Amino acid sequence: MAENFFSILKTECIYRHKPAAFRKVNGMNNRYIDFYNHKRIQLKTGVAPLTLHHSA
């Protein structure tokens, strides 16, 4: 599961935007992790993970 997350992170952030500095990579990672955990709609449930967590 973690391997899948890091593959998506690299594909959607790092490879697409090709940041020049480590500081930019770090900021992109933080923003993507926030998106992934709070806003991303899961195909299986149709809602964001945080929304699903609060409704349980």
Q: How many domains does the chain have?
A: 1
Q: Which domain holds residue 21?
A: 2-55
| Separation in Å, CA 49 to CA 1, 13, 20, 28, 31 | 15, 20, 31, 20, 16
Digit-by-digit pLDDT tens for the chain (56 residues) are 678 888 988 898 888 888 889 999 999 999 999 998 888 888 888 888 878 778 86
Tokens (6 digits) for 25: 């990579």
Closest CA to 13 of 48, 50, 3, 5: 5
Residue 39 and residue 49 in contact, taking contact as beta carbons nearer than 8 Å:
no
Q: What is the pTM of this model?
A: 0.68
